[in-house]
Amino acid sequence: MCIRDRVSEMMRFTKFLKIEADIIVARNALVASESVPEPVIFVHPNLAKTAGIKEGDIIEVARKGRSVKLKVKVSENCPENGCVIPNGLFASYLADLENFKRFKASIEVSEGEPTKPEEILESDV
């Protein structure tokens, strides 16, 4: 097996990794188009590399029985082993009253499309 095949195999394996990350909710990190919040998460390059995450990937962020799928934007403006979610619907869905600005959550590479706002608004939780 050549090195390229080994690297490719290893990269596919990262799809099954769940990593705990520090999540910061940032008021000024708004990403929106036409007044609709974009389901985005900013990930530090070091964490992205460790987790096998690339710019544009969809990752599932899960905490306390709730989860959302967000599109990755790699950014140096994040805590070294963490992520930033813009303040809004997606962050509020994951946070709670005790941890509404910073919390730990599991992240993993996912498939499909990012979570739509109406999916959260129509959920039973």
Q: What are the pLDDT digits (tens) for 79-98? A: 888 999 999 899 999 999 88
pLDDT for 60 beyond 60: yes
Residue the block writes with tokens 């303040």? 87
Entry pTM? 0.80
Take residue 99 and report the two structure tokens written for it: 């941890």
| Closest of 61, 64, 62 to residue 42, by C-alpha | 61
Take residue 10 and report the two structure tokens written for it: 């290893």
Q: For residue 63, list its beta bridge partners.
A: 66
